[in-house]
């Protein structure tokens, strides 16, 4: 009563009443908004700061990528490398401090997800990786260094048509694995060991054209159905019943591939433990395996990247269940986030530099081979090259048409990449035959370090296999891959 009879008391009562009215109204509005949101299982906002841990269909994926590109124009660029059978764009998002143009002297790297449509965990992880990169650039010094010194290309889904017919919660089986024409895209590339007669598909043709135009140094392909980092070779020159010939097929860069695989596995929350997904499936020591030692396959993407273009690609199997429930995605992100970032940084290990002519102009498509490692690589139009190598002493053989070949020695240390610039001299002048004959420069033919048109000599016998035994072997391969990845 005293409060009511004083001015101060009346003012206080008015304030208390206003406070009560405001919070009551706020609670009512919040309650109404909550009830309105309940029928919708999620409120998807494509330009929201935080990306939902749900599976995004192709339209949602497209909206997210476009919105992110519009929101972060200084860090991202969006482009399509082609379309699927059913006309869905194969979107690639570049994340870098120089997204619209190649940064001279800085490597291009890539991730490819969802090559098998029913293995979409990698698809979602790559969307979250994009979101993490753009939102952490100004606060995470490691991310800033990575984006300032690397151009990262991310293809979240290579098989959007297969994803469209896949079913969430399906851990095994082949529904959605293939593209709309029924082709396994990870068996659709040219092969080093065996003739691959499968008709090329628009999705694989788009990827082949993509990597022929950009000199990628490092790459990861994300899959599901196992928990392991698998490295080349995926195939073997052995012919009969190759599914059961569990012998390694090692590249000249086996030490590097093992290292790259271990970088991913050891930064992963579980992979390096080498625990089998099921009692009937194999366990992998340290969470890595040679592809052919696991089970050989013909026409795989990682072998093609390596042999044809010198790109060090490994296959990352990141989920025991191929299409796990969406509520598990957050845990998969927590398990893979550090691995996805640390793996890309390995592009800055080894040797890098330029090949010039005597006038200091860059030489495009100079062929380079590390002595003792038969798979070579080439320079970009700016004369740049990169090669991931572990610490040690090396010799590089450098060739270019019209120039004298050169051999250079260099040392790799652990702390930082070795910078190596090479100048090639023009070939010797050769006079024409007879008096008054023409003079010309004899071009020096670079040795063929890339995959030739046909199979290698030691695999010639393997490439001729056909008939019932080949059919049986291919059938066993398909069955095995549907079960294990």
Is 69 in the same domain as 192? yes
Rounded to two decimals, the pTM is: 0.82
Task: Give the range of the structural domain holding residue 248, as residue numbers without chain letter.
Answer: 58-349+465-484
Is 99 in the same domain as 155? yes
Is 315 in the same domain as 416? no
Asked whether residue 52 is assigned to any structural domain, the reply reads: no
CA 265, distance to chain mean position in Å, is: 15
pLDDT bucket at 219, cuts 50 / 70 / 90: very high
Is 133 in the same domain as 34? no
Choose among 143, 154, 146: nearest CA to 93.
154
Is 167 in the same domain as 244? yes
Asked whether residue 454 is assigned to any structural domain, the reply reads: no
- What is the enclosing helix (H) or strand (E) of 288? strand 288-290
Which three-class secondary structure state does DSSP give residue 119?
coil
| pLDDT single digits (tens) 254-295 | 999 999 999 999 999 999 999 889 887 778 999 999 999 999
pLDDT at 343: 98
- What is the enclosing helix (H) or strand (E) of 61? helix 58-71
Asked whether residue 47 is assigned to any structural domain, the reply reads: no
Q: What are phi and psi of 312, to 5 degrees?
A: -80, 95
Whether the Cβ atoms of residue 243 and residue 296 lie closer than 8 Å to each other:
yes
Is 268 in the same domain as 167? yes
pLDDT at 238: 76
* Measured distance CA(294)–CA(282) in Å, rounded: 8
Task: Assign residue 366 the CATH number of its domain.
Answer: 2.60.40.1120
Is 128 in the same domain as 33? no
pLDDT at 462: 39
DSSP string, 330-374: HHHHHHHHHHHHHHHHGGGSSEEEEEE-TTS-B-TT-EEEETT--
Range 317-338 average pLDDT: 97
Asked whether residue 46 is assigned to any structural domain, the reply reads: no
Within 10 angstroms of residue 445's Cβ, the number of other Cβ atoms is 11
pLDDT at 453: 38
**pLDDT at residue 32 greater than cutoff 60:** no
Task: Assign residue 208 the CATH number of its domain.
Answer: 3.40.630.10
Report the percent of the chain where pLDDT is more than 70: 76
Is 242 in the same domain as 343? yes
* Measured distance CA(217)–CA(271) in Å, rounded: 24
pLDDT bucket at 346, cuts 50 / 70 / 90: very high
Mean pLDDT of the chain: 83
**pLDDT at residue 24 greater than cutoff 70:** no
Concerning whether 317 is annotated as a catalytic residue, the answer is: yes
- The runs of H, that is alpha helices, within 172-314 are 202-213, 254-267, 291-294, 301-309
Asked whether residue 7 is assigned to any structural domain, the reply reads: yes
**pLDDT at residue 37 greater than cutoff 90:** no
Is 117 in the same domain as 222? yes
CA 153, distance to chain mean position in Å, is: 8
pLDDT at 280: 78
Is 135 in the same domain as 226? yes
**pLDDT at residue 221 greater than cutoff 70:** yes
Specify the higher pLDDT residue, 44 or 55.
Answer: 55
Q: Which of 124, 203, 313, 317 is catalytic?
A: 317
* Measured distance CA(318)–CA(229) in Å, rounded: 8
**pLDDT at residue 459 greater than cutoff 90:** no
pLDDT at 482: 57
Is 118 in the same domain as 188? yes
Asked whether residue 367 is assigned to any structural domain, the reply reads: yes
**pLDDT at residue 461 greater than cutoff 60:** no
Least confident of 41-45, 80-84, 166-170, 277-281: 41-45
CA 144, distance to chain mean position in Å, is: 20
pLDDT bucket at 360, cuts 50 / 70 / 90: very high
Asked whether residue 449 is assigned to any structural domain, the reply reads: no
**pLDDT at residue 433 greater than cutoff 60:** no
**pLDDT at residue 450 greater than cutoff 60:** no
* Measured distance CA(56)–CA(65) in Å, rounded: 11
pLDDT at 295: 92
Is 200 in the same domain as 155? yes
Whether the Cβ atoms of residue 162 and residue 116 lie closer than 8 Å to each other:
yes
CA distances from 222 to 25, 319, 328 (A): 49, 10, 17
Asked whether residue 50 is assigned to any structural domain, the reply reads: no
CA distances from 308 to 190, 211, 312, 356, 362 (A): 9, 10, 11, 23, 22
Pairing of strands 351-356, 418-423: parallel
């Amino acid at each position: 009563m005293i409060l009511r009879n004083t001015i101060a008391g009346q003012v206080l009562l008015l304030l208390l009443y206003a406070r009560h009215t405001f919070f009551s109204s706020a609670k009512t509005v919040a309650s109404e908004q909550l009830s309105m949101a309940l029928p919708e299982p999620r409120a998807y906002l494509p330009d929201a700061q935080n990306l939902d841990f749900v599976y995004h269909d192709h339209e949602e994926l497209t909206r997210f990528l476009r919105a992110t590109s519009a929101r972060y124009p200084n860090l991202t660029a969006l482009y399509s490398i082609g379309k699927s059978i059913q006309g869905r764009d194969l979107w690639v998002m570049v994340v870098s401090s120089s997204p619209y143009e190649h940064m001279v002297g800085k490597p291009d790297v890539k991730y490819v997800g969802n090559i098998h449509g029913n293995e979409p965990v990698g698809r979602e992880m790559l969307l979250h990786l994009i979101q993490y990169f753009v939102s952490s650039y100004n606060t995470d010094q490691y991310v800033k260094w990575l984006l300032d010194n690397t151009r990262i290309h991310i293809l979240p889904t290579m098989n959007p048509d297969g994803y469209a017919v896949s079913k969430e919660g399906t851990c095994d089986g082949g529904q959605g694995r293939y593209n709309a024409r029924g082709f396994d895209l990870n068996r659709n590339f040219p092969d080093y060991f065996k003739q691959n007669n499968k008709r090329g598909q628009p999705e694989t043709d788009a990827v082949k054209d993509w990597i022929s135009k950009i000199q990628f140094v490092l790459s990861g392909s994300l899959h599901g159905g196992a928990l392991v980092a698998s490295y080349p070779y995926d195939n073997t020159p052995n012919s009969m019943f190759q599914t059961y010939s569990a012998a390694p097929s090692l590249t000249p860069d086996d030490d590097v591939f093992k290292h790259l695989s271990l970088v991913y596995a050891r930064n992963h929350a579980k992979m390096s433990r080498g625990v089998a997904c099921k009692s009937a499936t194999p366990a992998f020591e340290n969470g890595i395996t040679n592809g052919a030692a696991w089970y050989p396959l013909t026409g795989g993407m990682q072998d093609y990247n390596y042999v044809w273009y010198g790109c060090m690609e490994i296959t990352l199997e990141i989920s025991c269940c191929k299409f796990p429930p969406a509520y598990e995605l957050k845990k998969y992100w927590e398990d893979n986030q550090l691995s996805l970032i640390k793996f890309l940084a390995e592009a800055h290990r080894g040797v890098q530099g330029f090949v010039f002519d005597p006038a200091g102009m860059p030489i495009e498509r100079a062929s380079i081979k590390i002595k003792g490692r038969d798979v070579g690589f080439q320079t970009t139009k700016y004369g740049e090259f990169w090669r991931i190598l572990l610490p040690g002493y090396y010799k590089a053989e450098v060739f270019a048409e019209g120039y004298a070949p050169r051999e250079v020695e260099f040392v790799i240390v652990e702390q930082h990449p070795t910078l190596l610039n090479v100048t090639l001299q023009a070939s010797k002048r050769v006079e024409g035959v007879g008096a008054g004959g023409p003079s010309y420069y004899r071009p020096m033919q670079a040795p063929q370090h890339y995959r030739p048109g046909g199979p290698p000599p030691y695999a010639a016998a393997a490439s001729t296999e056909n008939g019932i035994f080949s059919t049986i072997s291919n059938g066993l391969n398909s069955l095995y891959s549907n079960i294990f990845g």
